[in-house]
A and B are shown apart, each in its own frame.
Chain A
Amino acid sequence: MTIPAPKSGRTFFLRPQDVIGILALAILLLVVLPLALDNFRLQFVGKYLTYAFVALGLVLCWGYAGILSLGQGVFFGLGGYCMAMYLKLQASSVENTKIQSTPGIPDFMDWNQITSLPWFWEPFRSFGFTSLAVIVVPALFALLLGYALFKRRVGGVYFAIITQALAAIMTILIVGQQGYTGGINGITDLRSLHGWDIRTDSAKTILYFVCVGLLLGCILLAYYVKSSKLGRILVAMRDKEDRVRFSGYDVSSFKIFVFCLAASLSAIGGAMFTLQVGFMSPSFVGIVPSIEMVIYTAVGGRLSILGAIYGTLLVNWAKTSFSESFPELWLFGLGGLFIAVVLIFPNGLAGLWQTYVAPRLGPLFGGGAKRRAAPPASGPVAPAAAE
Chain B
Amino acid sequence: MSSDNDNSHKFSSMRRKLLMGMAALPAAPLLSSTGLFSTPAYAQAPATAAVNTTGLAVTDTEVTVGILHSVTGTMAISETGSVQAEKLAIDQINAAGGVLGRKIKFIQEDGASDWPTFAEKAKKLLVNDKVAAVMGCWTSASRKAVLPVFEQYNGMLYYPTFYEGLEQSKNVIYTGQEATQQILAGLDWVQKTKSGKTFYLIGSDYIWPRTSMKIARKHIEGHLKDSSVVGEEYFPLGHTQFNSVINKIKLKKPDVIYAAVVGGSNVAFYKQLKAAGIDLSKQTLLTISVTEDEIDGIGGENFAGAYSCMKYFQSLDNPNNKEFVAAFKKMWGEKTVIGDVTQAAYLGPWLWKLTVEKAGSFDIDKIAAASAGIEFTKAPEGYVKIHPNHHLWSKTRVGQAQPDGQFKVVFETPDLIEPDPFPKGYQ
Contact = CB atoms under 8 A, between A and B. Distances in A.
A40 B207 contact: no
Contacts of A188: 144-145, 147-148
A183 B145 contact: no
B148 A323 contact: no
Given A175-B237, A188-B145, A278-B148, A40 B124 contact: yes
B147 A189 contact: yes
B71 interface: yes
Interface string B393-407: 000000000000000
B148 A178 contact: no
Contacts of B279: none
B383 interface: no
Interface in A302-324: 320, 323-324
Contacts of A283: 114-116
Nearest to A327: B110
Contacts of B72: 327-328, 330-331
Contacts of B127: 40
A97 to B, nearest CB: 12
B363 to A, nearest CB: 21
Q: Which of the listed residues B145, B210, B422 has the most CB atoms from chain A within 10 Å of its own CB? A: B145
A154 to B, nearest CB: 27
A328 B70 CA distance: 9
Contacts of A327: 71-72, 108-110
Interface string B153-182: 000000000001010000000000000000
Given A178-B210, A184-B207, A281-B141, A189 B112 contact: no
Contacts of B3: none
Contacts of B119: 277-279
Interface string B163-207: 010100000000000000000000000000000000000000111
B236 interface: yes
Interface stretch (A12-20, A106-114, A116-124): A106-114
B214 interface: yes
Contacts, number: 97
A199 interface: yes
Interface string A345-357: 0000000000000
Interface residues of A, number: 37
A333 to B, nearest CB: 12
Contact of B123 (A40, A107, A183, A331): A40
Contacts of A150: none
Given A111-B166, A185-B140, A188-B147, 4 more contacts: A108-B207, A178-B207, A278-B148, A324-B109
Given A44-B120, A111-B166, A323-B110, A279 B205 contact: no
Contact of A178 (B124, B166, B205): B205
Interface in B103-131: 108-110, 112, 114-117, 119-121, 123-124, 127-128
Interface string B223-237: 000000000000011
Nearest to A99: B422
Given A184-B237, A327-B71, A178 B145 contact: no
A227 to B, nearest CB: 36
A279 B110 contact: no
Contacts of A373: none
11 contacts: A40-B124, A111-B211, A176-B205, A183-B207, A186-B145, A188-B145, A278-B119, A281-B116, A323-B121, A324-B124, A327-B110
Contact of A323 (B112, B152, B205, B427): B112
* Across the A-B interface, the 3 shortest Cβ-Cβ residue pairs: A327-B110, A185-B141, A184-B206
A161 interface: no
Contacts of A190: 148
Contacts of A277: 116, 119
Nearest to B123: A40
A199 B152 contact: yes
